[in-house]
Structure 1
Amino acid sequence: MNGGSPGRRELVTEWLPDFVVRSPAFEQLCPRVVSALAAYESFPEVKDWGRFSPEPSGDLAELELHELRTAQVRFTPQDDARIRAAGGYDYYIKETGLVPSRPGSWHDLFNALMWRHYPALKRGVHRLQLEDFAARVDPRRRTALGDAVTLLDEGGVIVLSSDPELLELIRQFSWLELFYERRAAFQRRVRVLVVGHALLHALLRPFIGLVGQAWLVSAPDDALSDWRCARSFADAYAAAHLAAEVRRPKDLHPLPLLGIPGYQDNDSADYYRNLPAYFRGKGPRG
């Protein structure tokens, strides 16, 4: 995959019906949703966003997720005055069941797509954001919980793997070994789910320096068999474990996304060695 240029950070604003070709990160999206989006010649109206839901496969877990999607939030054009009257964005969602969304915004459309593809995760994030607001001493300053949840919501990645050694390589910043020396194992035993909507927006025009904040999750091999299985497992895992496992920023781990096999033309050792500032080693963390 080509397209990452050093330091390039201009965000895409125009409608791209074929946006899925911009990054492997979009392969996680349900093909039915991708086809529906591709049919639009211009940016879909906010009132249509609720339609972009994966269809259930027929198994119990997928049917439960489908029920959660259809019972959950809807999307409405953003009204700043109403948000202020409710006490803020998340309180507005809590009161109304509506997610304020800006027309023509990739950032907000990707947020809607994540609500539809990972309803339990997004509902859990919403609850933790409300918990953060309630715990603040200064209303303008997030708690450690608020920082962590915001990182996941905006720039988060869920990394599923059936190989604990590969997850440990992420913790140790061992990028050359992870992405190049153990590339075959990575491709076979890892699924990377980009769930942060700001990160998805940035991946429409990738740049060297793009880093996700990874929640590392051990998963069985059958959860890695395809994207639907990976999404279903990740969302069920989030429903059970998000509130306990993502409490502080250091519960998440930096992941240089353009090192992931397929995210760039990165199948040589020199690719990683020639970008030391991007694929840097582990330093002290707060």
Structure 2
Amino acid sequence: MTATDLPAKPYRNTAFDASINNPSAYASTLDDSFAAIDWQASWLCHLNQLGYISKSISQLRGLKNDPAQTEKLEHTPDIIAKVLNTALQKHADALQQSLPQTKPALNNQAQTLKFVSQNELPEGEAYERFIGTTGNIPTRDNLHDLFNGSIWLTFPKTKALLNYYHMLEIKEQGIGASRGRVRDTITVFDENGAILVTAESSIGKALVDFDWQESLVAPRDKWDEPKQLNKQAQAAVYIFGHALLEKLLHPRKALCAHSIVINVTQDFFTLSLSERINHLDQKVADYMDALLSEPDVSPRKLSPLPILGVPHYWAENVQPSFYEDSQVFRSGRRSQS
């Protein structure tokens, strides 16, 4: 076994682990926007280490808002990176696996993932190239980067695959005003993507064909409930886009995801949530690998999905009339056989 074959040395931040167990030792740099997170929202249920992350953020925000603690607290920068690194290690420990890595590209070796300060990104360095060559994910103390990091935690193989294609395209096309069709497709899915998983192919086909009645309304009893998994379910949606998660802090009926359809067997729905997501990560990575290799790839290959129309995501969609809004549930631009 060569040195490069050895498992990555686990990343641990002992001081920060202690701060979460005794959070009065630190102050949060988090602003009031974090108060808008509804940790019980259906579209967050699939995120790995959600319990730990929500508890950590809530504790740190609570200390910030406690006047009695103000003089005792020490300012801690890069709090989101620290929370995410601890969550990353906790998840690896739970799976008894090493930390996830990048997908090697352009003669670079696989690098172990780690969340770092935004300040570590060198001036002029492409964000994606920096991740691919170092494994370091620049992270700011804001909602956008919290959700981005949460998706890295949940779908590390897919995120690494997308970053790999970014690196290939940057090498070939450089950095310019236009990203090109491959990087445009990656960006749209990365920011605004959703994954429809189904054991009933007609549901996926109906979604692609903009047939909202046959995808979301008529088969409602076949859809999984995020907060109470159903082994007999045949369809579920898991959000991939971190910007979409941020938009959902203020839900609007018109919010629309760009989705892909992953067909599975019924056995998928008998798995625990963590087993589902682990299995799905590889499936989505394989799907996106094939999609991004197509010569005519473009964001139009992603299917629009009004996200609050997903059964059990939003209380109002229990009424069939919810789907009669033609400004949201529009007729399709295409029909695929």
Q: TM-score range by the shorter chain?
A: 0.7 to 0.9
Whole-angstrom distance in 2 between the partners of 1:180 and 1:260: 9
Indicate if the aligned counterparts of 1:20 and 1:26 stay in contact, CA closer than 8 A.
yes
Whole-angstrom distance in 2 between the partners of 1:172 and 1:37: 37
Whole-angstrom distance in 2 between the partners of 1:266 and 1:248: 31
Q: How many residues are aligned here?
A: 264
Aligned to 2:45: 27
Distance verdict in 2 for CA 1:57–1:101, change over 3 Å:
closer
Aligned to 1:166: 203
Aligned to 1:72: 112
Whole-angstrom distance in 1 between the partners of 2:146 and 2:157: 18
State the AA in 2 paired with 1:20. Answer: W
* Bigger CA radius of gyration: 2
Whole-angstrom distance in 2 between the partners of 1:63 and 1:162: 29
Whole-angstrom distance in 1 between the partners of 2:101 and 2:43: 22
Distance verdict in 2 for CA 1:75–1:160, change over 3 Å:
same
> Which of 173, 189, 195 is residue 152 of structure 1 equivalent to?
189
Distance verdict in 2 for CA 1:48–1:57, change over 3 Å:
closer
State the AA in 2 paired with 1:228. Answer: S
Distance verdict in 2 for CA 1:163–1:198, change over 3 Å:
same
Give how far 1:138 is off.
6.9
Aligned to 2:277: 231
Whole-angstrom distance in 1 between the partners of 2:287 and 2:87: 26
Whole-angstrom distance in 1 between the partners of 2:124 and 2:175: 19
Structure 2 counterparts to residues 215-230 of structure 1, below 5 A: 215-225=260-270, 226-230=272-276
Give how far 1:137 is off.
7.0
Correspondence 1:182 to 2:232 = no
Aligned to 1:259: 309
Report Cα offsets for 1:32-65 as digits up to 9, x if no partner: 432442243335442232112363697xxx555x
Aligned to 1:270: 321
Aligned to 1:204: 249
Aligned to 1:38: 55
Distance verdict in 2 for CA 1:34–1:17, change over 3 Å:
farther
Whole-angstrom distance in 1 between the partners of 2:37 and 2:128: 31
Give how far 1:233 is off.
1.6
> Which of 169, 175, 183 is residue 132 of structure 1 equivalent to?
169
- The CA RMSD measured in Å over matched residues stands at 2.6
> Which of 61, 83, 87 is residue 52 of structure 1 equivalent to?
87
Correspondence 1:242 to 2:288 = yes
Aligned to 1:5: none
Indicate if the aligned counterparts of 1:147 and 1:249 stay in contact, CA closer than 8 A.
yes
Whole-angstrom distance in 2 between the partners of 1:156 and 1:91: 22
Whole-angstrom distance in 2 between the partners of 1:110 and 1:242: 20
Aligned-residue sequence identity (percent) comes to 22
Whole-angstrom distance in 1 between the partners of 2:101 and 2:131: 15
Whole-angstrom distance in 2 between the partners of 1:206 and 1:94: 34
Report Cα offsets for 1:81-112 as digits up to 9, x if no partner: x44342x1112212332111111x11101111
Distance verdict in 2 for CA 1:141–1:262, change over 3 Å:
same
Q: Which stretches in structure 2 are left out of the alignment for 5+ residues?
A: 1-30, 62-78, 103-110, 225-232
State the AA in 2 paired with 1:42. Answer: L
State the AA in 2 paired with 1:150. Answer: T
TM-score, reference length from structure 1: 0.83
State the AA in 1 paired with 2:100. Answer: L
Whole-angstrom distance in 1 between the partners of 2:300 and 2:258: 9
TM-score, reference length from structure 2: 0.71
Which piece of structure 1 moves more, 247-256 or 112-121?
Answer: 247-256
Whole-angstrom distance in 1 between the partners of 2:93 and 2:275: 10
Report Cα offsets for 1:98-149 as digits up to 9, x if no partner: 111111x111011111111111011001001112223327722111111111
State the AA in 1 paired with 2:223. Answer: F
